[in-house]
Structure 1
Amino acid sequence: MRALSAVVLPALLLAAAPGLAQLVPDPGKPAPAGPRGAPPPTAAPPGQIPGQIPGQIPGQPPGLAGKPPPLYDLPDPAPARPGPPSAPPSGAQPGSDPAPRPPAGKPPPLAPGERPGAPQREVSSGTGFIIGDRQALTNDHVVRDCRSIRARNAEGRDIPVTVRVRDANRDLALLEFREAAGPPLTFRSGPDVRRGEAVMTYGFPLAGMLASGPTLTTGDVSALAGLADNRMHFQISAPVQPGNSGGPLLDLAGNVVGIITSKLNAQRVAQRIGDIPQNVNFAVKGEEVLGFLRENRVRPRTASSGAPHTAVEVGEAVHPSVLFLRCLG
């Protein structure tokens, strides 16, 4: 699935949370009677609903047996809203994103591999940010299946983008442009991020449904590891929605300390434990991002964390460096 739909975690999740890996039948609901003349149904094994294929979720197609509902969502890319690009946002589905109306005059140049006259439609959208001369970062899942990619910078220019390298394990992608897009952000080189430290996100959640411009949210680093004790991630309380993925996680000095990547599937968790978790979101740690860049011989700006600023000041400082990404297919 893309956008609001979820992605199944591997066996690591099941090992970390076995109590959440199965649905348990309602003890107060009687088993359905079999057809006349049919032998009575045999008792189902513990944890399995009578008549259910082992490992299958109730209401789930048999082809998906053995795959429990995911607890882990990749919140982006946000799916594009169907219909003409100029259609109004009313009635759009959550996470939808209308494609901006192309400017009048000469069409934008084709990206490498793009065929002249080939029909393209906007599939999804996400966030990225500039890290150097004609280079930017985002999540791998934001650009994974794009036929071509367009970036809109703070000036409103529509810039063709190519993917230089991807890392599916870290969920990172290094992007390149044909032209300068804006000033680079600075990565924090120290001190280490601490539990409880205040952070901010800056990106384009639910573009076309919410504000068409960037959104800033604030929160804290809740834990120094992610789901199933994933040491590549921070858990954060700053709200994350479809369209946020690939955006920077910032400290109070405006330095990058991570990249937004995913969120807990609160609805799925509520179905299993009867309670709704709140603000459980995840970001790739800055040290993982810097390792990815070093491996690919990219040297971003780095600095020690400086004096704290207000959220307003940080937002104004990073605004020219954050990109709205459109995946075309």
Structure 2
Amino acid sequence: MRTTPRLILGFLLLALPLGAAPGPAWAQNAPAAGAAQPDPAVPVRIVNRTGQPATALHAVRSGRPDWGSNLLNRGPLPNNAAFAMRPSASAGCHFDIRLVLQDGRESTARNQDICGTPRVELSAAVTVAPAASVAQARPNTAARRVSTGTGFVVAADRVLTNQHVVDGCDRILARTPDGRWLAAVPPAQVDRALDLSILSIPGNPGPALAFRAGPAVRRGESVVAYGFPLTGLLSADPKLTRGEINALGGLRNDQNNYQISAEVQPGNSGGPLLDMQGHVVGVVVAKLDSRRVQNVDNVNFAVKGEAAQAFLRRAGLAFRTEASSGADRSAADVGDIAHRSTVLLRCER
């Protein structure tokens, strides 16, 4: 079984051929030591400004894939009333908060810094459509060739990845963080010059990650790469690697790419590159092949977040953006954020 990745101009593109054995064609971790922590003596007040009573209140550390238990165990929270919450000192400062209203609407505030601002007011409420019933897919164990890569959710049922991850596939499946297999619906939207592709994957593969809206990325910033390298050789769960932005240009001064020191491997292609606030600053795309370029090691590249956002706009897709401000998170917390939105992609031919 061959697992040699495809080589282009000294690039090692990071989709991983698995060479399986017939496949129609496509076009909660603890905060870091020294990090800020909530003061149990100072309650966090969550204020209902939605105009009607809330029947459920959920508050979980940012990045957790579920909402946990309902904190309103003594009855509804009236409009204009506040709920006092006392997180433990080890809970960290960043929380996602949700009110479920009497009429079924929801009001959500994500990534709230409860240490800096121990009062959160929720007002805007939206109607949440029931999740569509989508049958799970099954991998084709008789496929002639199989390769894997990574993607991440950028909008409802839309996953961003590299074009080379999905090029030539007869069928594409996504394994979600909760273990479901969902089938992508062709055709994919692609930008070959950027090596990006948008997949339509019905069935709620996860919440959308936010792109960094500012400030501008600088050389030396810490970043986290998240994805599924060397699937079939390493464990099946996603891998996190830390590194830095080495250069603001890529191979041959390509201004659509960053050079990064976060080491990536075949299978990482299409995964998110995040800053230490948990916002997307790039899409992992390739590494320099040390077998083709002598005396060079650990030179990796990611498509810049700005270029990816421009592609999403051209595709008519609405996506989330958030400014990166405040204290950095631990790598473990950034990984928690990435985890619920990052999928393993399986290409069957």
TM bin, normalised by shorter chain, reads 0.5 to 0.7
* Residue in structure 2 matched with residue 159 of structure 1 by the alignment: 182
SS in 1 for 2:243: strand
Partner deviation per Cα, 1:4-59 (whole Å, 9 max, x = no partner)? 444333xxxxxxxxxxxxxxxxxxxxxxxxxxxxxxxxxxxxxxxxxxxxxxxxxx
Name the CA distance, whole Å, in 2 between partners of 1:238 and 1:189.
22
Aligned residue-pair number: 233
CA contact (8 A) 1:221 1:235 kept: yes
Q: List aligned pairs for 1:144-293, cutoff 5 A.
A: 144-162=167-185, 163-270=187-294, 275=295, 277-293=296-312
Change (3 A) 1:119 1:279: closer
Name the CA distance, whole Å, in 1 between partners of 2:249 and 2:199.
27
| Aligned AA (1:199) | V
Looking at CA atoms only, which structure, 1 or 2, has the larger radius of gyration? 1
Partner deviation per Cα, 1:255-277 (whole Å, 9 max, x = no partner)? 0000000110111112xxxx2x1
SS in 2 for 1:294: helix
* Residue in structure 1 matched with residue 47 of structure 2 by the alignment: none
* Residue in structure 2 matched with residue 323 of structure 1 by the alignment: 343
Q: Which protein is richer in helix relative to its size?
A: 1
Structure 1: gaps spanning 5 or more residues: 10-70, 84-106, 112-116
Partner deviation per Cα, 1:176-228 (whole Å, 9 max, x = no partner)? 12211111100001111001110010000001111210000000000000010
Name the CA distance, whole Å, in 1 between partners of 2:253 and 2:283.
18
Q: Which protein is richer in strand relative to its size?
A: 2
Cα-Cα RMSD: 2.1
Q: CA deviation at 1:252?
A: 0.1
Change (3 A) 1:266 1:108: same
CA contact (8 A) 1:125 1:142 kept: yes
CA contact (8 A) 1:133 1:180 kept: yes
Name the CA distance, whole Å, in 1 between partners of 2:172 and 2:347.
5
Name the CA distance, whole Å, in 2 between partners of 1:281 and 1:219.
10
Q: CA deviation at 1:164?
A: 3.0
Structure 2: gaps spanning 5 or more residues: 22-134
* Residue in structure 2 matched with residue 297 of structure 1 by the alignment: 316
Name the CA distance, whole Å, in 2 between partners of 1:267 and 1:299.
41
Name the CA distance, whole Å, in 1 between partners of 2:141 and 2:305.
38
| Aligned AA (1:139) | N
Q: Percent identity?
A: 44
SS in 1 for 2:164: helix
User: Is 1:128 the counterpart of 2:151 in the alignment?
Assistant: yes
CA contact (8 A) 1:165 1:173 kept: yes
SS in 2 for 1:190: coil
Name the CA distance, whole Å, in 1 between partners of 2:256 and 2:180.
34
CA contact (8 A) 1:3 1:242 kept: no
Partner deviation per Cα, 1:73-122 (whole Å, 9 max, x = no partner)? 212x1111446xxxxxxxxxxxxxxxxxxxxxxx94599xxxxx996345
Change (3 A) 1:240 1:118: closer
Name the CA distance, whole Å, in 1 between partners of 2:142 and 2:262.
38
CA contact (8 A) 1:6 1:265 kept: no
SS in 2 for 1:266: coil
